[in-house]
Structure 1
């Protein structure tokens, strides 16, 4: 049996480039020493409409059904593409650096971080699925995921925080919307920092000693007014890389909260009902739910290092 060729991304790029330069799939396979039809087919881009493209390029031509059977034997099937944040080269480099800096942290260190986040809760939000052709071990390859950008729809915005063994406060954020009516630094200071964070931060500092507050890089968080308030109130900031919700254990807590709302016998029919549903769902989230995800930080860090700052399973 001939040795299988490693189907890595550089080889894929060279292989496809050779085809686009005018060579047939068979000729390109010969150039790169690919002896198997399975390997040759697997190298052609997996996302979009690959079967139509493949059939046109293969010499001699074969049917789409044959292509599917060959690819299935190689472990390629149509699968849901994961939705992930868009990562630039800078994002990846900073994520990797951050991972190395925290690679030796234990549950003790992670238990001193207050994890915070905002989230939108939408009634009846069901995103459509995108399917890709891939092997099971290619789930987070760059060409097998769907990167997401900011969305816009009818929703309410909430803020909450957690720590190992503790569920912090949650609040529904109030803002007028429209141009200039979003969550700015002034509203963030009033509705979050002064109204909810400070008391919880001080309580946890007394209980655990030195603690640090994590927030993402939203404009209202990094504004001069916010930085001054945090400094004046002696709130220590935990550094966190941009575009890294997979490195925050509060993200899966939002999924738990939203699923609890979806599972209600009667969906909220007004904004006030939605707010009440959110508060009730937050109350139902257990300490075990929180600890499970905070205690996953060591695994998250190792996954990020393995991915070299790229997308992880989290």
Structure 2
């Protein structure tokens, strides 16, 4: 398993728990989203900027964490040593990364972000509204619907397979940024093309979680 490999190398990646308890409301929201998007093709998903975060640590670095936000082909942004607040999310993610991407993408752009508290805070919602950036109505507790979750696995495996394993937190950050930039565009397109099938799997599961690592 990827998790075991990372632990053996002194490295850990925090992943969302797919087995987290879902309420009836969560399942209903996931089911509604899947039904609405099950027939979307890649041309429908193309204007969507998927975003996500993952926390990587090295056991030798006393648990210092780095959060990596990525989506589409924006730069992989690193947040070190402190928690993400709504202000930081606006000033370090939305303003310098999402806004230029949205402007370049043009009409129809959609931001995909999960329902983490900083993301849905009033200050961030106000910023998106002022900038004319539309965000998808994303169902809560749905990491299995986000293709970037699979990217984290790809990156973790790539880092572990390196002969020059990162020895410090900064080296780990630099290595992950490099791996991110080297991911083939075809890999991203494949993940996007998998979205309709994955939506159908959520429908078959009646809104329950699916195994995204096997499905994408």
CA RMSD of aligned residues (A): 1.7
Partner residue in 2 for 1:161 = 71
| Distance across 1 between alignment mates of 2:93 and 2:155 | 19
Partner residue in 1 for 2:18 = 84
Contact conserved, 2:50 with 2:148, CA < 8 A, in 1?
yes
Deviation at 1:236, TM superposition (A): 0.8
* Cα shift readout 1:175-233 (whole Å, capped 9, x = no counterpart): x53xxxx200111111111121111111111xxx3110000001110000000000001
Structure 1, unaligned stretches of length 5 or more?
1-82, 126-152
Pairing of 1:136-215 with structure 2 (within 5 A): 153-162=63-72, 167-174=73-80, 176-177=81-82, 182-205=83-106, 209-215=107-113
Deviation at 1:171, TM superposition (A): 0.8
Query: Which residue among 84, 96, 105 is the counterpart of 2:31?
Result: 96
Partner residue in 2 for 1:120 = 55
Aligned length: 193
Deviation at 1:124, TM superposition (A): 6.5
Q: Normalising to structure 1: TM-score of the pair?
A: 0.59
Q: 1:263 to 1:124 in 2, by over 3 A?
A: farther
Contact conserved, 1:212 with 1:237, CA < 8 A, in 2?
yes
Structure of greater relative contact order (alpha carbons < 8 Å, 6+ residues apart): 2
Name segments (4+ residues, structure 1) moved above 3 Å: none
Partner residue in 1 for 2:11 = none
* Cα shift readout 1:39-75 (whole Å, capped 9, x = no counterpart): xxxxxxxxxxxxxxxxxxxxxxxxxxxxxxxxxxxxx
Which entry has the higher C-alpha Rg, 1 or 2?
1
| Distance across 1 between alignment mates of 2:190 and 2:123 | 35
* Cα shift readout 1:264-299 (whole Å, capped 9, x = no counterpart): 112211111111111111111110110111110000
SS at structure 1 position matched to 2:33: helix
Q: Normalising to structure 2: TM-score of the pair?
A: 0.84
SS at structure 1 position matched to 2:74: strand
In proportion to residue count, which structure has more helix? 2
Deviation at 1:154, TM superposition (A): 4.0
Structure 2, unaligned stretches of length 5 or more?
1-16
Partner residue in 2 for 1:311 = 209
